[in-house]
Amino acid sequence: MPGIEEPLALSRHSDAFERFAGRSSAIVIHRQDVLNAFLGPAERHFDLRARTLTGGGQVLGGLTSMGSFSHLSRTWLWSWANPNFSWDDPAVAPLRAVHDHGRRHGIVEFTTGHIDFSGFPNPHQAAITMVLAAAYLLGGNGCWSCRINDGKGSAYIHLDDPQIPEAAYDPLATPRLLMTAAEVFPADPKLIVQGYLARYGTSYKESADTVAGDMVDGGELAVRFDAHGRIAALSCAPGRS
pLDDT tens per residue across span 85-120: 999 999 999 999 999 999 999 999 999 999 999 999
Question: Mean of the pLDDT values across residues 217-222?
Answer: 97
**130 pLDDT tier (thresholds 50, 70, 90):** very high
Mean pLDDT for the chain overall: 97
The span from the CA of 25 to the CA of 89, in Å, is: 29
Looking at residue 203, its pLDDT comes to 93
Distance CA 46, CA 7 (A): 27
Predicted local distance difference test score (pLDDT) of residue 39: 98
Quick one: which of 142, 92, 111 has its CA closest to 10? Answer: 111
For the chain, give the DSSP string: ---PPPPEE-SS--HHHHHHHHHHHHHHHHHHHHHHHHHTT---EEETTTTEEEETTEEE---EEEEEEETTTTEEEEGGGSTT--TTSTTTGGGHHHHHHHHHHT-HHHH-SEEE-TTSSSHHHHHHHHHHHHHHTT-TTEEEEEEETTTTEEEEEEE--TTSPP----TTTHHHHHHHHHHHSTT-HHHHHHHHHHHHEEEEEE-SSEEEEEETTS-EEEEEE-TTS-EEEEEEEPPP-
Is the model's pLDDT at 1 over the cut of 60?
no
Amino acid letter, 218: G
pLDDT tens column, 169-207: 999 999 999 999 999 999 999 999 999 999 999 999 999
**pLDDT of 6:** 93
pLDDT at 2: 61
pLDDT at position 222, please? Answer: 98
